[in-house]
A and B are shown apart, each in its own frame.
Chain A
Amino acid sequence: MEPFAQFKNVQKSYDGETLVVKDFNLDISPGEFVTLLGPSGSGKTTCLMMMAGFETPTHGEILLQGSPINSLPPHKRGIGMVFQNYALFPHMSIAENLAFPLEVRGLSKAETEEKVAKALSMVQLTGFEGRRPAQLSGGQQQRVALARALVFDPKLVLMDEPLGALDKNLREEMQLEIKHIHEQLNVPMIYVTHDQAEALTMSDRIAVFNDGVVQQLATPDVLYEAPENAFVAQFVGENNRFIGDVVSLDADRCQVKVNGDSVIDCLPVAVTENGNHSTLSIRPERVVINPDEGSFPNIFEAEVKDVIYLGDHLRTRVSVCGNGDFVVKTPNAGGNGALKRGQKVRVGWSLTDCRALDA
């Protein structure tokens, strides 16, 4: 299938000295929800602005439905956008805000009214037509912004950290609502956020940005289960790290010596030869405390530093193989809350759950 929108070798520099976006490539399929995830300053918002037309690529091409749009002004692109602070026009009522994109397109009054009413009902704000944005709560304003970006049936919708200003509960509610609307309308969306949980919840695919470069572009499960480098492993989800040197390497198994004496068996992902420096990544929920002898290739002595009770699960911080900050997450299945600080335990994990990544 031909991609709906494309970034092709896009580079962006503001000062002619440094690149904020280095060789960005992304194909977006029709109806796809793609998230650009990364810490602030990683170049993700710049990419979004280039798609919207507010920034011009220094190099490379951006295509929409197959045709380049580099020199097309923003108002001719037909792209809906939701801004971080909503950007609702404060001097217009909610209905006027929603009618704005329709009016500038010269729609008839009746058609405008109908579409506005439909969009408002979609975000469950029917009856708020005459209010001013300042009279609405943050969540309601967010819905209006969303409705406004959708009301004119855009080809593509861009969202720039739209939920950043909301509190946790509301944010989660809105994530589902946006997801729901996306499924309903089946319009492709590009979503920018620095919140990995949000990205995992909502996206079809996620592009993880760091330092102007896409570190990994993959579906949420692949990103979480099989991060390709240390940055992705660290940024997406919780992660335990060891740093060491490769001492033996096969096709599907390698051994890494950490902290001078401990040797850990792991899956080679980004190591190529003996002596390579490597970062090992183990998800906390994949570690087992006091496993049966011989059940895992990796079983080590550990000392409990503290145990945090979190309701549905327990976080046990232990010191193992010289790593004093190693976290083990265990589901609260009852009867396993007996660990005490200072207690000696064994921890173990499988080979495939321990990924040997780049240094």
Chain B
Amino acid sequence: MKSMKLTTGKTLAGIVGLSLAAAAAQADTLNIVSWGGAYTASQQKAYHEPWMEQTGDEIVNIDRSANGLAGLRAQAQAGNITWDLVDMLPANAMIACDEGLIEPIDHDTLLKAAPDGTPPTEDFIDGSLTECFIPQIVYSNVIGFNSDAFPEDNQPFLMEDVFDVENFPGKRALQKAPINNLEWALVADGVPVEDVYDVLETEEGVQRAFAKLDTIKDHVIWWEEGAQPPQLLADGEVAFASAYNGRLFNAAVNEGQPFEIIWDNQVFELDGWVVPVGKMDKVRDYLEFATDTQRLADQAKYISYGPARESSAARVSTHAETGVDMKPHMPTYGPNFATAIQKNDAFWADYGDELSQRFNAWLAR
């Protein structure tokens, strides 16, 4: 009886082992964490589908990037990391990297050179490659508005207009976080773009920013999920909404919504991949593929985020479905970029905790 049990056990283990080995040789399942919505859709089209076709791997999309750092910490503490690749903002990537939650990356060894042989460290946007982070796109936080909400001869186009409730009445939807809002409040109050973060480091600067936000506080609906602002605009609940430029583009181009973007004082930053500790071997090949020049250029066919490689930028063409020329919709397009603010990740890494609490306290008042 006992020996039989043992044999059965061994056989079972053997079968399981064999099938696991076979699966590893044939195809992998990659759990990729991203932002969901239009953004994940663009990654699916540009990266995932060609990769799955090429290798037979299966890719599972997990829409958890909004809580990516919390998820990484929780999985690391539980000792059971199920995510293979995570799409993340550079500020969070920096913290995760400092805490040893993600793999350091040697960009020149891991990533493909540009078609003309330029190594990745020179091809990616200056200063965008950090210790554990591979950027994919440049995206932008902008204010969008519903053009139906204002008469044709009085359409807003400056950041000051967003803070001008006299001439541009209506609710504003803003993200429920200090990031972007404090920067915008300062520039709308006359602080030059290049001085924004220096001013914010001072107590007077913070007070000034909150004082400016006070002027519109009663007109604000606060959103928390990226999908909310286009919805609020479409429902007519708000006249203005801060949003990721790609979401507004998709609503305008794919759904024909009458949304316009105020590019003035857009706050742009990068977004990219990080690899949870111990997952490098599993995702190395995928990462090399998904960050090459053509793949990054392809993503721009589906969403109006600029590729993080200079060699890809030249290949940006038209929208895959509507044929709209994508270049004027990119955050990096000349006229859009003139008054842009580059988000200061180091500043937010240091002051994020305190300013968030202060922001919440301000909201509750």
Let me know if chains A and B touch directly in the complex, using CB atoms closer than 8 Å.
no
